[in-house]
Amino acid sequence: MAAGPVSASAMTRRRMWVLLGAIGSLLVIALVVLLIVWRGGAGTPGAVEETGRPQPHSSPAPLALAAVPEPTSVPDGPHPSTCDELYSPEMVAAFDNLVLNPAWVAEEKSGANRGSDDQELIALIDAAGERLTCVWANENGGSGLGLTTELMWVTSEQSAAVLSRLSAAGMNCYEELGGMRCIIEGADDGGVSGESHFLRDGIWLATHYINAGPDGYTHDMIANVWAGA
């Protein structure tokens, strides 16, 4: 038997149930999404903090030893107080007719030579401060021969500056007797002149000579200054 026609009220109720079912489905889906988002955020409580101020991953590196300045004081070592302490009796006798520190060399503008003929080295000698000046010269005044040694106490920085200038001036430098020796010599119509420099343990021996200087002069000074070393 065929079904009769559906009334208008029945169709209206069916549409309402369909609509309610759709709305319900959407609400369920929305609740599920909210639950997932809420649980995901709750599972990472440090997420906000991690995007804030960065934290150090390691301790700062210690200061390199090379960055620590070296002491600027003169190191302990030999400290002769007079020129007589620099020479053996044999060396004194070897100078023949020259005498040590004749009276005229102490006069103002005496013209006595310095421990170097190089102006930059003379400036470094003057900057060293305390020093012994030992002049071997003619007792009666200046002549064409003589020798001057200046002994200075220098810091490590001053010693490095001296060695740098000695090398730049073309001197032959080499290690000898526990220190650094630098020499230069030349000859012209006036005879032979040259320089000998020795640095060791905060002491600088600067010697300039003209037609004078017994063999072994610098070695004799080293043996006396560092006697027993």
> Of 228 and 75, which is predicted with more confidence?
228
The answer on 213 and 106 residing in a single domain is yes
The model scores a pTM over 0.85: no
Give me the pLDDT at residue 72, please.
55
Total structural domains within the chain: 2
Residue 64: inside a domain, yes or no?
Answer: no
In a domain, 57, yes or no: no
pLDDT in tens, 163-212: 999 999 999 999 999 999 999 999 988 799 999 999 999 999 999 999 99
Whether the predicted pLDDT of 48 surpasses 50: no
Domain with 207, as residue range(s), is 74-225
Domain co-membership, 25 together with 129: no
Please give the share of the chain, as a percent, with pLDDT higher than 70.
67
Residue 142: exposure state from Cβ atoms within 10 A (0-12, 13-18, ≥19): middle
